[in-house]
Structure 1
Amino acid sequence: MLDNIFLRPGYRDGFERSKRVYMRLDHEEGGLLSFDAVSADFFDELPEVRGVAGWSQFSRKAPVFVVEITRSRFRNLIRFSGHLGYYRPLDQLFPPFVQVGDRAQGPGTTWFEASLDWSAGQDRIYYNLFQEARPVGLHGVRYLDPGKADSLDEAFTLDGLEKGEAPIDAELARIKGSIDWVSVYDVGQGNANGLCDQNEMPLLYYDLGGGVQKHAFTFPKGLTDFCYAADPIVVLSHWDWDHWSSGTRFPSASARKWIVPNQWLGAVHATFAAGLHAAGNLLVWPAGTASLSSRQITIRKCTARGKARNHTGLAVEVSGPKGEAPILLPGDARYSAVPGAIQRTYTSIVASHHGADMKSNRVPRGWSLPGARIVYSFGAGNRFGHPANVTITRFNAAGWPHSSMCRETPALRPCLGHVGLCWTAGASLPGHSCVQTGCAVHLHQT
């Protein structure tokens, strides 16, 4: 069910050049807006679709895309589209709420229709998650009427798939043995962490992402597959492409059980989720559950004002095998969104959002505990300038040293490769004992 051509690595053959798309704002970074889009003609011909479960019947053949446009150009397209009665400042498309007509909505839930000119244009469109964009011209951009927007919301939702805490507890209970290492895998501009035993065998993955779209070049060619020998489960931090993309890059990754937050989705995210659901591998975090713990692992629901997706997903804390202070894996969430994180003592942490400027000085204090580290997961030559100098400065001020900091370039990588964190100062890497074909996640450095 994950063979939609948008999700198929290496796909370069024919694809539908849709004339119209329905699209919703997925994220903005550096003044560039990314919209998650679906063919309007395809969607209009479908019967009523109820949630990701219903979408799974159609997702295989659905023409889905990602459209990029600059903030200034999009603002002008809306302003001069003849929909001035609906026009709102672009900032209102972001948290905490957006107002369209008399409908108060969360971020990302505002839908637009746009016509596409594939012959030329100053905008860009992706027909595949792992390919570079093509030029396209957007025109006729308008807000969708509430009825059509509601039908799209109802199609691309995880609502109704929550089964409570018991299925998640059962998966966590399957994890046997001690977690002795936490790995930060080099996946380029993305995130993938492993909770590993004494032989570097992952028992749980926190994110299985990697560089995609304009950052696909940052994914290391030597990473041919992850390790599944211990039948690991996956906890997804939040619904960003670079945090789940290796779930479709490698077929065996989508065969894991995935614990995911219930956040708003676009057609691309919903297509990946639909494949997991159809295979019986989708476990949706239950509403009202603040955290779940099993032995060394605690999964925390992130909380933030408004509904910003980065800051309302799932974070993971991993305590040491002898009860040592935990290691924090926050995904893209700012630390104040992880309940208790600012006040808590951590042995090591992974820098949030690849070391982006989180617009906050509130970071956990550094501690001189055995094995203490801060790790940045970013792609060499990424176009966002991650990690940001201001972030490095903040972590230094909070007591986190940067003794092994290395500025990679695309021609010189990996700088550090896969990094292993543990709770013992000066520990030597145990070596990866996996004999699985294609597995390439042995740790390179502590």
Structure 2
Amino acid sequence: MFKNQFFASPGQVDGEPRRKGRVYAAIEVPELDDGLQPYEAEPVYLECVDTSWFNSFEASENGALWSKLFQAAPLSVLELTSYKLPLFPEGSKPGDIAWFEFGYEPASSSESDARIYTNLLSEGATVKISFHEPRPIGWAERGIIGEAAQALAKYNSSSSSQYSLKKRLARISTAGGVAFYDVGQGACQAAIDNELHIPQLYVDFGGGVLTNKKTFPDGFAGFCFTRDPMVILSHWDWDHWSSAQRWPEALNTPWLTPPVPLKPIQLTFAAELHERGSLHIWDAAWPGTITAGAVTIERCTGRTANDSGLAVTLRRRRNSPKNCLLPGDADYACIPSVVAGESFNALCMTHHGGRLHSPTYPKAKRGAASVLSAGPRNSYRHPLFDTVATHLEHGWSLPTGTALSGQRPCHVLVPWGGRPHILQGGCHGGMCATAVSAIAPANGKITKFARRRGDAM
């Protein structure tokens, strides 16, 4: 279980408090599209922490207890529904974290201009902004936020953990293909073995949150942890790790992550992993690329969190030409293998089919398959028509989407050298929704195989 109540499981989420509040709110300065403002058609979310807690933390002498103190941090998300996002501080550039102080008070739906969420899986409460004040760029780095990030990097990144993780990755079986799970507006993929057809490695562990919580399938029974699969986190956006809130047992497996952004919710989630000894941070001291067995991990080269995370390529086996690119939300121009001209058999379209900032796209091999992970009727309107069309122009097939069927969850399995299959996963004990045990009728061979092995799943 999580220590911080912001991450309470769905059944434990209470109603939102109806009271005034003052918060310090953080948001990343984004890349702009052709000089246009970035948030004109998308929801605007800021990560918040209560000002009184933050200020008392600043004044305390409990530096050694920072992770436990973060577990008690009063966190929230502020969505600006009609209140205009303030201008970023002068001199800010993409990838910087801009901070503001906001005040708000309860308001009816008709009078509100924002919404406050005290849990990623809550409904939120309507509020009216009473004031905002900017903070200079770098303001939080000089305080407890920066100290916490430094402590996380110090205690969770080492050459010894790099060695042990490479040994673990080298043992992973990927021969069954790559599974793309229906988690609504989010992302979760897995390497599948060809013996039991269960996850051996998760790449991201996300799902729909906040306004997009409704996109997460109601019938999702759970994730498979039979093989103690580790998690590679592409980047720290909530929708790429939030299923750990739904199934906290995921906190006990190793997580390999990019550096933690200087924002309160990500730092607190990282503190939860740190307390369990599960956090392994790929920082600047690590090499740009690691290959272990059939798994290659690359550090992306951009400036923002999306574009500076980890991209993963899975292969059928070590040195196999059969490969699948899992880019997270990274722009393709920030993935070294794509820039170098590598071609791929399969692809999860980056950023849920959302906006990209460059004309660079990965090369598709003959017969290559593409998959989209996006929730139905999500607030971002993903996938975007132009993004899908441009993938088609670059030789990629029309993507198979998670949640393609109205019978959900509806996952996608891409076997090596085969076409994508849609499936509803689940072991025969009914305890998970991710083992390959129920698949579309056209793919009966896998169905029969899974039934024969049902006692082992």
Range class of TM-score, shorter chain: 0.7 to 0.9
Instruction: Name the % identity.
Output: 30
Aligned to 2:413: 420
Q: 1:171 aligns with which of 162, 165, 170?
A: 165
Distance 2:52 2:220 in 1: 38
Match of 1:290 in 2: 288
C-alpha separation between the residues in 2 aligned to 1:34 and 1:189? 15
SS at match of 2:213: helix
Letter paired with 1:387: P
Q: CA offsets per residue over residues 22-46 of structure 1, 9 Å max, x none?
A: 1111476524321100000111122
Deviations 1:199-241 (A, max 9, x none): 2221111000000000000001111211100011001010100
Determine the structure 2 residue equivalent to 1:130. 121
2:143 is aligned with 1:151: yes
Structure 2: gaps of 5 or more residues: 31-37, 444-457
Residue of structure 2 aligned with 1:388, choices 380, 384, 396 = 384
Q: Note closer, same or farther for the CA distance 1:163–1:49 as it changes in structure 2 (3 Å cut).
A: farther
Instruction: Assess if the C-alpha contact under 8 Å between 1:234 and 1:258 holds in 2.
Output: yes
Deviation at 1:424, TM superposition (A): 2.5
Please say which of residues 390-399 and 150-159 is displaced more in the overlay.
Answer: 150-159
Call closer, same or farther: CA 1:13–1:407 in 2, change over 3 Å.
closer
Aligned to 1:66: 77
Deviation at 1:357, TM superposition (A): 2.3
Judge conservation of contact 1:203–1:231 (CA < 8 Å) in 2: yes
Indicate the RMSD between aligned Cα atoms, in angstroms.
3.0
Aligned to 1:20: 22
Compared CA separation, residues 190 and 146, structure 1 to 2 (3 A): closer
Secondary structure of 2:202's partner?
strand
- How far off is 1:169 after superposition? 3.1
Q: C-alpha deviations, 1:56-115, integer Å up to 9, x for none?
A: 21123221000011586233xxxxxxxxxxxxxx3x56xxxx62xxxx676342221111
Amino acid across the alignment from 1:112: F
5 Å matches for 1:30-429? 30-46=41-57, 54-69=65-80, 73-75=84-86, 90=87, 92=88, 99=91, 107-120=95-108, 121-144=112-135, 149=140, 150-157=142-149, 158-175=152-169, 176=171, 178-180=173-175, 181-198=177-194, 199-288=196-285, 289-304=287-302, 307-321=303-317, 323-342=320-339, 343-369=341-367, 372-402=368-398, 412-414=406-408, 417-425=410-418
Name the SS for the 1:368 alignment partner. strand
Instruction: List runs of 5+ in structure 1 lacking aligned partners.
Output: 76-89
TM-score by length of 2: 0.82
Change (3 A) 1:54 1:36: farther
Q: CA deviation at 1:350?
A: 0.4
Q: CA–CA distance in 1 between the matches of 2:123 and 2:179?
A: 29
Q: CA deviation at 1:127?
A: 1.0
The code of the aligned residue for 1:115 comes to G
What is the aligned residue count? 416
CA distance in 2, matches of 1:394, 1:147: 38
Give the number of the structure whose residues are more often helix, by fraction: 2
Task: Give the deviation of 1:171 after TM superposition.
Answer: 2.5
Distance of 2:395 and 2:101 partners within structure 1: 49
User: Equivalent residue for 1:84?
Assistant: none
C-alpha displacement of 1:335: 1.0
Partner Cα distance (2:94, 2:338) in 1: 26
CA–CA distance in 2 between the matches of 1:437 and 1:406? 21
Question: Do the aligned residues in 2 keep the contact of 1:316 with 1:328 (CA within 8 Å)?
Answer: yes
Q: Secondary structure at the match of 2:364?
A: coil
TM-score norm. by structure 1 comes to 0.84
- Which secondary structure does the structure 2 equivalent of 1:57 belong to? helix
**SS of alignment partner, residue 365 of structure 2:** coil
Distance 1:49 1:163, change over 3 A: farther
